[in-house]
Structure 1
């Protein structure tokens, strides 16, 4: 497995880890699941910048 911020997020953030696990359990290849998580991160970052707010992790 290669190193990327998504891999770190998968292990350190329960919300993104759950997205990855759901896709993986559905039979999606690892690269497809990682790409989906990357897209979620980009959408989140865009929303944070647009709304001029800071990210706060939600409780699982």
Structure 2
């Protein structure tokens, strides 16, 4: 959703992937996230914006090309 560079990337936003992404973001790192179902990624990013103080550290990508 943006072209900002990330420190690390994560593929897969099931329960473990979401918690790992949030943990990394909470520790000050910028993390790019991708899920094969882009609706799940969009939903995750929206929830982050509502509930997570570190939401600015999470960058969602709808396709692999932009993720890489």
In which range does the TM-score fall when normalised by the shorter chain?
0.3 to 0.5
> Whose strand fraction is larger, Structure 1's or Structure 2's?
2
> Whose helix fraction is larger, Structure 1's or Structure 2's?
1
Structure with the larger RCO, 1 or 2 (CA within 8 Å, 6+ apart): 2
TM (norm. structure 1) is 0.33
Q: Which protein has the larger Cα radius of gyration, Structure 1 or Structure 2?
A: 1
TM (norm. structure 2) is 0.30
